[in-house]
Amino acid sequence: MAGHSPSRHRPQAPAPARDNAPGLPARRLAASVIDEVLRARTALDETFERLLPDAGLDAADAGLARAIAITAFRRLGTIQQAIDERLDRGSPRQSGPFEPILTAAAAQILFLDVPDHAAVDLAIRHLHEDPRSSRYAALGNAVLRRLVRERDAVLAESRAGPRFAAALGDPSLSVGLSFRAGDARLSLDARYSEPLGVAEPYEAAARGIASGGGERGLELSGGAVLFADPLALSLRLAAALASPPSWPPAPGLRGLALSLGATEALNAEFAYSLALVQRLAFPLPGAGPVAAERSLPGYSASLSFAVLRSGARGQLRVSVAKELSAASAPSIGFSFAYRVPLSGREAGP
């Protein structure tokens, strides 16, 4: 208030003591991970592994904290919408960890096999640990208890999903060199992608829409295309590196992909292709952990249809692709390849 000056000797309220209730340290870690990933746009797995040692959790609590954090991001859109609809005036400002604590609690109430009373009670205890969020403990209690009562309606609405959903992926820039060797074309390529797309890859994957990866990416690949009219058969090996959007970058190998594909050109402007990809991922010394879902071999098949416009110096490609091995929506891609002449010759066919 204008004109009001607080007393110089006004005592400050002591910070609330930390609660040692069983299960609360796991929720505390999960909320901290959720807060940092959303605020700093860091990678979920790397953030969890970095914060885990200071949490002092046993294996069971660490597993619970990881399950809460992963579930929160896989269902982030549903959780945020459910919370927002029960906050009549929106999320309170300057409320400290209020939002990540409620997000972690809502993930347990809606999607995990956790007793409702434990999820609500421990969230309220957690809110009381910070003076900024403690002021809104009653509000948080009311929101979470409404989620418990209205869980079936929230889940029914989330399963129905939107009639139409779309998401922007990450733009990328590629450079490559290709040359003909008899009936084959050999190529080496490097592609860099910037994480400007959707920042919620888990939620986008759950809804079956394209998404940004949340990490800077560098892919190095080499391959060969054998021209056997009317088909073009391709074999390609790609190594994918990724780094959180922070400085300095710390790239780590995220996996290898071996793909086998066939493309048929219907005419000079239209083509369709079918690809089979096997993905592998493994950690390297000092490269950090690899997510469990990335660490196992996996196969995928996809079908794409493209419209091509070629000129003397480049090619514009607009494609629609559908992954056949997953229940996902089609994705639309746009690319422009510019051919750079090398010593008077083209860098590709």
Predicted pLDDT at 259: 87
**Contact between residue 296 and residue 278 where contact means Cβ atoms under 8 Å apart:** no
Among 185, 190, 103, residue whose Cα is nearest residue 147: 103
Domain boundaries, the chain: 24-160, 172-338
Instruction: Give every strand in the sheet of 231-243, ordered side by side.
Output: 172-181, 184-193, 216-228, 231-243, 252-265, 270-280, 298-310, 314-323, 331-338
Computed over its alpha carbons, how large is the radius of gyration of the chain?
25
What tens-digit pLDDT sequence spans the chain (349 residues)?
A: 333 334 344 444 455 556 678 899 999 999 999 999 888 767 788 889 999 999 999 999 999 999 999 899 888 888 988 999 999 888 888 899 999 999 999 999 999 989 999 999 999 999 999 999 999 999 999 999 999 999 999 988 877 655 445 566 678 888 888 888 888 889 999 988 877 765 455 455 445 444 566 667 788 999 999 988 778 899 988 887 766 555 555 666 667 788 888 888 777 788 888 888 776 655 444 444 444 334 445 677 888 988 988 887 788 889 888 877 655 567 778 888 887 776 544 444 4
Mean pLDDT, the chain, as a whole number? 78
Q: How far apart are CA 140 and CA 278, in angstroms?
A: 46
Grouping H, G, I as helix, E, B as strand and the rest as coil, residue 128 is: coil
The CATH number of 24-160, from 3.90.1310.10, 1.10.10.10, 1.10.150.130, 1.10.940.10, is 1.10.940.10
Q: How far apart are CA 315 and CA 95, in angstroms?
A: 52
189: β partners: 176, 221
Predicted pLDDT at 198: 55
Q: Where are the beta strands (DSSP E) in the chain?
A: 172-181, 184-193, 216-228, 231-243, 252-265, 270-280, 298-310, 314-323, 331-338
pLDDT tens for each residue of 58-94: 999 999 999 999 899 888 888 988 999 999 888 888 8
The residue length of the chain stands at 349
Grouping H, G, I as helix, E, B as strand and the rest as coil, residue 39 is: helix
Q: How far apart are CA 148 and CA 31, in angstroms?
A: 19
| Whole-model pTM over 0.75 | no
CA distances from 159 to 19, 152, 162, 166 (A): 36, 11, 9, 17
DSSP per-residue string spanning 152-204: HHHHHHHHH--SS-------EEEEEEEEEETTEEEEEEEEEE---S-S-HHHH
pLDDT tens for each residue of 156-197: 887 765 544 556 667 888 888 888 888 888 999 998 887 776
Grouping H, G, I as helix, E, B as strand and the rest as coil, residue 12 is: coil
Return the DSSP state at 324: T
Predicted pLDDT at 95: 92
Predicted pLDDT at 302: 85
